[in-house]
């Protein structure tokens, strides 16, 4: 496979990845419960993958943790609460490189 063939394959893979990323998905409210029936976690999913804002709760109903998901991955600021539901700490989650970004980097190296 020569350089031109590799470039062609890379472009086809990029088109496929872009299509997957832009496909419209339906979001669904999601709630999970403790054994006693109280709410443990709530948020939304898209095709079964966590998306957007989520919250977790202790059995007594106090908030334990909250934060955002982007395509199933934690992103941005995540807040942890103490047993009284008061702010304990905030953790900033760094975004991970996605496959499409890695493919773009590989393709740009081939084009040079």
Q: What is the mean pLDDT of each run of 10 residues along the chain (112 residues)?
A: 46 42 75 97 95 97 96 94 96 76 56 53
CB 96 within 8 A of CB 73: yes
Position 29 scores a pLDDT of 96
Position 104 scores a pLDDT of 57
Whole-number Å distance between alpha carbons of 90 and 78: 6
**Global model pTM greater than 0.75:** no
Position 96 scores a pLDDT of 74
Query: Who contacts 94 (Cβ-Cβ below 8 Å, separation ≥6)?
Result: none
Which spans in 23-111 are helix H?
A: 99-111
Position 75 scores a pLDDT of 94
CB 67 within 8 A of CB 74: yes
């Amino acid at each position: 496979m020569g350089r031109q063939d590799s470039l062609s394959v890379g472009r086809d893979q990029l088109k496929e990845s872009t299509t997957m990323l832009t496909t419209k998905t339906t979001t669904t409210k999601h709630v999970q419960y403790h054994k006693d029936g109280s709410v443990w976690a709530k948020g939304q999913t898209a095709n079964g993958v966590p998306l957007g804002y989520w919250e977790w709760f202790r059995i007594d109903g106090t908030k334990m943790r909250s934060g955002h998901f982007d395509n199933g991955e934690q992103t941005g600021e995540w807040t942890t609460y103490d047993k009284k539901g008061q702010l304990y700490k905030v953790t900033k989650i760094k975004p991970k490189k996605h496959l499409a970004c890695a493919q773009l980097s590989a393709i740009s190296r081939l084009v040079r």
